[in-house]
Amino acid sequence: MIRYTDLKTGRETTISPFIAALGNFDGVHIGHAAVIRETVDAAKRNDVKSAVWFFRDRPAGGAKMLTSTDEKCAIFSSLGADLSITEDFSDVKDLSPEEFVEDYLVGEGCRGIVCGFNFRFGKGAAGDTVLLKDLCERLGLFFRCADPVSVDGVTVSSTEIRKRISDGDVELAAKMLGRPYSYSAPVDHGRALGAKFGFPTINQYFEDCRAVPRHGVYYTYTKLGEELLPSVSNVGSRPTVGGHVCRLETHILGYSGDLYGKSPEVYFIKFRRPETKFESKDQLIAAVEADKLAASEFFSAAAKEKLEGKYR
């Protein structure tokens, strides 16, 4: 079922004429942002609403998600879009490219389309941007296909960002996203081993559908309300103490508050070292102390000034 949501209020709304950005927009990376900004500009010129149309389902092929629907919509709103239009893939998967545009989109009030260079649509992904342009011209719809965007010689895509995150290259992933990769989840009760060892941590578990960074230690920022606090995080199963379940374990430098039940957002800034199974707890404690010291040095005043302003 198709759903229209006002991005300013977060409430469902009724249909009105719109120009739509079409895509899955997982991660809402810098290429996606260009598509959405073009949509917003075109909608203003044509005195209609700007909308971002995407599926509520997971990315194709079961790929791990970079952003949830709520995270996507928050970024869409920050880019100036008026509406999100969401649909279940199963409801439109059997429409031909022509039916998808002529009957479905136009029937819902679409007055124009903006998409990325590699957008595919219609049953079996039979439609491409060439066909979409022809359909729009025939129907009198505004059409714009955004050019690919590259970072460090690599074409930006959600697939490429997932790969970089999986490799631990969160710095290049951040360049492609336009912000550091982040994850938010409720703080769960662990075994309190960090506190016993002298470095209390918050424990958060990754949803099965979400992209998980390479196991290891990262310099991170943790967002509490509107405040960004330097932190150091471990992604992994804690093999030294017999752990088996992957989690995100974060020590917030200089912080001692109770965060149980809250959902702080952790931003991955830089990979420090891979996860290691130490021979003893003493070796583990020494390694974590070294991680804390290195993180403190990393988050010096100069480094923080350079990194601030990159967070939504």
154 located within any domain: no
Q: How confident is the model over 261-270, as pLDDT tens digits?
A: 899 999 999 9
Specify the amino acid at residue 104: Y
Identify whether residues 96 and 132 lie together within a single domain. Answer: yes
39 located within any domain: yes
159 located within any domain: no
User: Mean pLDDT in the chain?
Assistant: 89
Identify whether residues 196 and 244 lie together within a single domain. Answer: yes
Identify whether residues 206 and 292 lie together within a single domain. Answer: yes
Q: What is the CATH number of the domain that holds 284?
A: 2.40.30.30
113 neighbors 23 (Cβ within 8 angstroms)? no
155 located within any domain: no
Q: What is the CATH number of the domain that holds 121?
A: 3.40.50.620
156 located within any domain: no
- Beta-carbon contacts of residue 150 (< 8 Å; ≥ 6 apart): 156
Identify whether residues 91 and 201 lie together within a single domain. Answer: no
Say how far apart CA 50 and CA 29 lie, in whole Å.
18
pLDDT over 90 percentage in the chain: 73
**Number of structural domains the chain divides into:** 2
How far apart, in Å, are the Cα atoms of 108 and each of 2, 9, 52, 103, 105?
9, 21, 13, 8, 5
Identify whether residues 24 and 102 lie together within a single domain. Answer: yes
Identify whether residues 212 and 291 lie together within a single domain. Answer: yes
Identify whether residues 15 and 141 lie together within a single domain. Answer: yes
pTM of the model: 0.90
What is the predicted pLDDT for the residue at 58? 65
Domain containing 228: what range?
174-307
Q: How confident is the model over 57-113, as pLDDT tens digits?
A: 665 667 899 999 999 999 999 999 999 999 888 888 899 999 999 999 999 999 999
